[in-house]
A and B are shown apart, each in its own frame.
Chain A
Amino acid sequence: MENENKPMKLAYYPGCTLKNQATNFDVSTVSSMAKLDVEVEELNNWNCCGTVHALDSDNVMNRVAPITNMIRVKEAQARTEGMASEFMTSCAMCYNTLKRANIDVKKRADALETINDFLSLEKTKYEGDVEVLHLLEYLRDRVGFDKLAERVTKPLKGLRVACYYGCLLVRPKEVAFDDVENPMVMENLVRALGATPVEFSHKTECCGAYQTVDKPDVIAERTDKIMGSAHEEQADLVVVSCPLCAFNLDYRQDDAKRLNPDFHNMPVLYFTQLMALAFGCDESALRFDLQHIDPLPALAARGLG
């Protein structure tokens, strides 16, 4: 940690789903950061990140929502001592959309000017001066996995964890903070927590994303393949960083089981829940009750939970 004595202050962008179905991701993020002496401060008046990055060239309007959040970060920084011009999000989808919008407007002065004109009622102008960080990147580069390991009070010994990245942490290359085809940041985190990371073939394969809305049969096929590949390597559970992946891989296991009777149910946790567990946080910081597939039997089988 950069400053051993004073808790660090870090602006935090939770995103919509962490305030709805994925409360477990939110509380485990905040609680485990407190154990690392990082005080996270939720941004005032944050708004939707935009959820998906518009890929076509006529896209300035789609950048307004993400860029408004950059202004909120600048406001938070202006009134908070010891806060850098950066913010952290643990949701992979928010990270991807916010980061790409930020990269885009930094490269296109004309687009940024249009956005600032559109946001003329804001007191603060955005000048491309905020950095977007994903929590995994923050833990690796700012906290350090060695330091993090020192805070583990309940090592997750023997627990076999498959780390699932999906799309948004590694693609496109401009937003990836690790290898595009074979990222290892989550495996290194899991190892620092005392668990055993498991290599599996489908860790960067797409879960089918929003097709879950009206095509659960498509997601069933994806979930069967992804979870099946983790099961083949004798994983006890899968960890994720995206609430949409979590929903598809966890909740849609019922559909996967209907598609393939040999499908083996396996719990899906957020990586922050695994951290909170290893840091000795209580149930209010874990909220395993929100998991569709109960993780307690798998944890108990390894003498945890």
Chain B
Amino acid sequence: MDTTLRITSARAGSDFVARIEKASGQKLLACYQCGKCSAGCPMAAHMDVLPNQIIRMAQLGMKKQLLAARSIWMCVSCLTCNSRCPKDINIAEVIEALRKAALGGGERNDNLHIMELSSEARSVLPPIATISAMRKLTS
């Protein structure tokens, strides 16, 4: 049995952490889990993973769980979290980076299928709604 203890900064998922930090321009380790982002989030009631939990999971490189979370599609970038974070982390940017990670990679993994809506539902929508939804939720 190998009893050697190895101390290294390399760990499972660290590539993903680096990618999210680069794409979002944020330092994930700055977060000390005060929870202010989740307390003010208007979409928190519709999320499965709260914004502060998203940051924690991103620190830990939990790629699979994050990309499968409903939360990344519920955030509408209202930026309440960003404006209230005492550590100046732009949480919405991290979530945008996660959306991009889910939408990228060559396969269309859209979270909005506009043609599945009834024509009646589509006809009342202003262009500002459909264009912004497609920009954020489709690849």
Contact = CB atoms under 8 A, between A and B. Distances in A.
A170 B124 CA distance: 28
Given A57-B25, A58-B23, A243 B128 contact: yes
Nearest to A213: B133
A171 B80 contact: yes
Interface of A: 15-17, 20-22, 48, 50-58, 91, 93, 166-167, 171-173, 180-181, 204-206, 208-216, 218, 221-222, 243-244, 247, 251
Interface stretch (B8-16, B41-49, B50-58): B41-49
Interface of B: 22-25, 42-43, 45-46, 74, 76-80, 82-83, 90, 92-93, 96-97, 100, 112-114, 117, 121, 124-133, 135-137
A212 B23 CA distance: 27
B12 to A, nearest CB: 24
B78 A206 contact: yes
Contacts of A244: 126, 128-129, 132
A56 B126 contact: no
B76 A206 contact: yes
A216 B126 CA distance: 14
Nearest to B73: A211
Given A56-B96, A167-B79, 10 more contacts: A17-B128, A51-B131, A52-B136, A54-B96, A55-B90, A55-B96, A173-B83, A211-B43, A213-B112, A213-B133
Contacts of A166: 78
Nearest to A245: B128
Given A93-B128, A247-B126, A251-B124, A206 B90 contact: no
A244 B78 CA distance: 13
